[in-house]
Amino acid sequence: MARPVRLGAGLVVCGLILTVTPATASVAERFERFDTMSVFANSSAAEHTAAEIAAATADGRLVVYTDSPARRIGFAKVGKELRPDGVLAMPGEPTSVDIVGRLALVAVNTSKSYTEPSGVLVVVDLTKRSIVARHDLGGQPDSIDISADGRYAAIAIENERDEKVNGGRIPQSPAGYLAIVDLVGGGPADWRTRKVELTGIAQVAPDDPEPEYVSINSRDQVAVTLQENNHIAIVDLRTGKITKHFSGGTATVHGVDTADDGKISPTGTITAAREPDAVAWLDDHTLGTADEGDYLGGSRTWTVFDADTGAVVYSSGNELQQIAVNQGQYPDGRSGKKGVEPEGLAVATFGRDRYAFVGMERANLVAVYDVRNPRKPRFLQALPTGVGPEGVLPIPATRSLVVSAEEDSASDGIRSSLSAYRLTSKPLALSLQHNEGTPSIVSDGIGFGALSGLSGIPGNFRDVVSVTDAAYNPTRVLTIDTLAAPARVRRELTLTKDGKPVGYDGEGIAARRHGGYWIAVEGDAKKSPNLLVEVAPDGAVTREIPLPDAVAQTATNNGFEGVTVTGGGKDEQVWLAVQREWKADKPGQATLARYTPATGEWAFAAYPLDAAPAGAWIGLSDVTAVNDRTLLILERDNQRGDAAKVKKVYRVDIGGLKPVPAGGDKPLVAKTPVRDLLPALTAGGAATHDKPEGLAVINIGPLRKLVGVVDNDGLDDAPGESVFLRLGWL
């Protein structure tokens, strides 16, 4: 791999100068996503699945993953894409897997209860896809790792606690331990298992160690995290002796968000036990831990320890949170608990470079660090994943990375997945032109997400504005630099009412020709009405305009979703899109509303929705004016991933349209296809997001450029990736 170089300050693409961010400019290569595979592709969409831990064959062409709910392991082939390659049933719930040669070693939980834990090591011949040996482990296994020389397997026998007993506190018998399997001396059926007791070493519940994760270095030493005990042990695999052990300690972290209040406000301080989950060797003398925490701790950090002394030589502090904030993927709803929740950690060498990969379970991100100097990790980039990244698998043989995300809820449109990334030297700016690179939008400390509406700014060929919805409070107008690569949130403006910050469910925004904004506020058809809100340039709300009573009474909870402006001054007209059919609408039709500020008059027209796919609905997400005679309408279904079928932009001619007052027979507009968004949403192997909700036209002289954004729902039951779409010229 080439050594790090620094790119120039900008890159000319399509005649526009794109500014490259420092994080991508400091290295010659970066990881770029190339595919996402839903785990149910190995079975059926009706099944509940969960890819957790994965391993790869030496050539990197086959990935084996655990699927605990389905009591099986699954297979995926890795090439230009991920391809499902079948499953194999297990005698219980597989918890971890590793591979030596053509054999997969699967740790399987067969416990009857928390007080009667049991488990087996299942050995699978990958050529025949059959079980060739089983070994009793005597307890409930969690993590497994195989030494580089293929002589040993280390298995953490957790014997986990019952969280319903005594608030989940330990001690709870029986105690866990470390199992060592000698992988020599005959075939798999002849392997010998040894037990290493870990009692009496931790300060927390020393009689009840609960080993969580294992990692082996090149000297055949295994590091074992005792997560609930906040302890780390190092065991010599040859002798089975504990050679070192030390506490995970506590960390004081400043500049973190500690309140679940709809505000991304990293101003708090926490002091907490690290309680590390995953562990990995950065070199033979240096250990890294992902400090997820448990019932008593969680410092929101990852830490590097000197394995010989137990001293902390590096702590990430608030960096993981700041990474998530800057990438629009901070889970504010977890602020009062463990924030981004670092859980997974893996370290691998690609060519001459060594990387650490830190999985953030609640932010749906993997942070990539340069750890050539293990005591001074350097952040490089963050990769968006599926929901709940659990397993982080570097595959140097194919210069790739596979991340398994475990959350699977068909009713929410969230499916467990494998995401694949590959090292590339292609500049991020070039990838972003094709919507392939990540991140596509960032900030420098401005918390953002839930980008629900979008608008060009009259006279400005560089910026657009977006509005945050009810996921955050108060409502803010965000200014986004579209010529930066990634696009950059560079300014925020808080809406105020009577001098105080105010929160709306802002679903659309339109920038006015002489300054200020119109905001479309979605109502719930009960307590909150649909409103058109007029906002001054300084963010002050000047008036709230409701619908006529006769129309408001027909509203459902699918209300205003977009707003745009045609004309100016006394000729200004405000157009709003209603998401779905209201009570008085004809089936398959949604409403376009027009408000004339000079007269205060409302008028309405009907919009024909596409036919909804089976089990889905179709609605409008935004409206934006091309000129005073033409509107673009963003229309979509409510489906994610493989189920998504309709994400489209249509053109509507309003030059001869005559909307009618409330109660009239609404004229039906005609629509013409302009853009199918599915290619942009799936570019670079992304899973399709359900909510492209912002659309804007940028005027550059006689040229017009189309851009869009995805609403990530503030990571509430959503993949969480903030996406800026570059949709080309009109």
Percent of the chain with pLDDT over 90: 94
Q: Rg of the chain's alpha carbons, rounded to an integer?
A: 27
Mean pLDDT of 576-605: 97
C-alpha pair distances (Å), 409 with each of 328, 413, 698 = 23, 6, 38
- Residues 104 and 125: their CA atoms lie apart, in Å, by 7
- Residues 458 and 513: their CA atoms lie apart, in Å, by 5
Confidence class for position 185, pLDDT limits 50, 70, 90: confident
**pLDDT at res. 525:** 87
- Residues 562 and 455: their CA atoms lie apart, in Å, by 10
Q: What is the pLDDT of residues 344-368, one digit of tens each?
A: 999 999 999 999 999 999 999 999 9
Q: Decide: helix, strand or coil at residue 551.
A: helix
Angle among Cα 662, 666, 669 to the nearest 5 degrees reads 140
Q: Residues 404, 409, 410, 412: what is their CA dihedral angle, to the nearest 10 degrees?
A: -120
Contact 462, 19 (CB under 8 A): no
Asked if residue 23 has pLDDT above 50, the reply is no
- Residues 23 and 427: their CA atoms lie apart, in Å, by 12
Mean pLDDT estimate for the chain: 94
Asked if residue 13 has pLDDT above 60, the reply is no
The phi and psi torsions of 230 (rounded to 5 degrees) equal: 55, 55
Contact 176, 184 (CB under 8 A): no
Angle among Cα 348, 442, 491 to the nearest 5 degrees reads 155
Angle among Cα 281, 347, 79 to the nearest 5 degrees reads 150
- Residues 100 and 90: their CA atoms lie apart, in Å, by 19
Asked if residue 5 has pLDDT above 80, the reply is no
Q: What is the pLDDT of residues 409-422, one digit of tens each?
A: 988 889 999 999 99
Neighbour-count burial of 69, counting CB atoms closer than 10 A to its CB (0-12 exposed, 13-18 middle, 19+ buried): middle
Q: What is the pLDDT of residues 626-657, one digit of tens each?
A: 999 999 999 999 999 999 999 999 999 999 99
Q: Within 10 Å of residue 582's Cβ, how many Cβ atoms?
A: 20
- Residues 536 and 530: their CA atoms lie apart, in Å, by 20
Q: Describe the chain by its helix, strand, coil percentages, rounded to 5.
A: 10, 50, 45
Mean pLDDT of 13-39: 63
Confidence class for position 510, pLDDT limits 50, 70, 90: very high
- Residues 193 and 327: their CA atoms lie apart, in Å, by 46
Mean pLDDT of 143-168: 96
Q: Within 10 Å of residue 723's Cβ, how many Cβ atoms?
A: 25
E-only strand ranges, 375-416:
378-384, 389-395, 400-405
- Residues 536 and 523: their CA atoms lie apart, in Å, by 22
Q: How many helices (H) and strands (E) does the chain have?
A: 5, 55
What is the enclosing helix (H) or strand (E) of 287? Answer: strand 286-290
Mean pLDDT of 504-532: 96
Q: Decide: helix, strand or coil at residue 243.
A: strand
Q: Per-residue b/e over 708-717, b at no fewer than 16 CB within 10 Å? A: bbbbbbbbee
Domains in the chain: ranges and CATH: 1-27 (no CATH), 441-729 (2.115.10)
For the record, the structure tokens of 667 come out as 């004229």
Helices (H), 311-470: 319-326, 428-432
Percent of the chain with pLDDT over 70: 96
Asked if residue 15 has pLDDT above 70, the reply is no
**pLDDT at res. 3:** 30
- 3-state SS string for 88-104: EECCCEEEEEEEECCEE
- Pick from 144, 145, 86, 91: nearest CA to 118: 91
C-alpha pair distances (Å), 567 with each of 377, 385, 601 = 54, 43, 15
For the record, the structure tokens of 425 come out as 């030297």
Asked if residue 20 has pLDDT above 90, the reply is no
Confidence class for position 258, pLDDT limits 50, 70, 90: very high
C-alpha pair distances (Å), 725 with each of 385, 430, 646, 681 = 18, 14, 16, 8
**pLDDT at res. 8:** 29
**pLDDT at res. 719:** 85
Instruction: Give the bridge partners for 421, in sequence order.
Output: 33, 401
Confidence class for position 406, pLDDT limits 50, 70, 90: very high
Asked if residue 78 has pLDDT above 70, the reply is yes
Asked if residue 385 has pLDDT above 80, the reply is yes
**pLDDT at res. 622:** 98
What residues contact 93, with CB distance under 8 A and at least 6 apart?
A: 68, 69, 71, 108, 109, 110
**pLDDT at res. 682:** 97
Q: Is the peptide bond before 474 cis (omega within 30 degrees of 0)?
A: yes
**pLDDT at res. 532:** 98
Mean pLDDT of 56-80: 97
CA 120 to mean position of chain CA atoms: 33
Q: Decide: helix, strand or coil at residue 425.
A: coil
**pLDDT at res. 412:** 86
| HSE (side-chain half, CA atoms, 13 Å) at 580 | 16
β-bridge pairing 279-283 and 268-273: unpaired
Confidence class for position 16, pLDDT limits 50, 70, 90: very low
End-to-end CA distance of the chain: 40
Mean pLDDT of 485-500: 98
Q: What is the pLDDT of residues 545-585, one digit of tens each?
A: 999 999 999 999 999 999 999 999 999 999 999 999 999 99
Confidence class for position 26, pLDDT limits 50, 70, 90: very low
Q: What is the pLDDT of residues 264-273, one digit of tens each?
A: 999 999 999 9
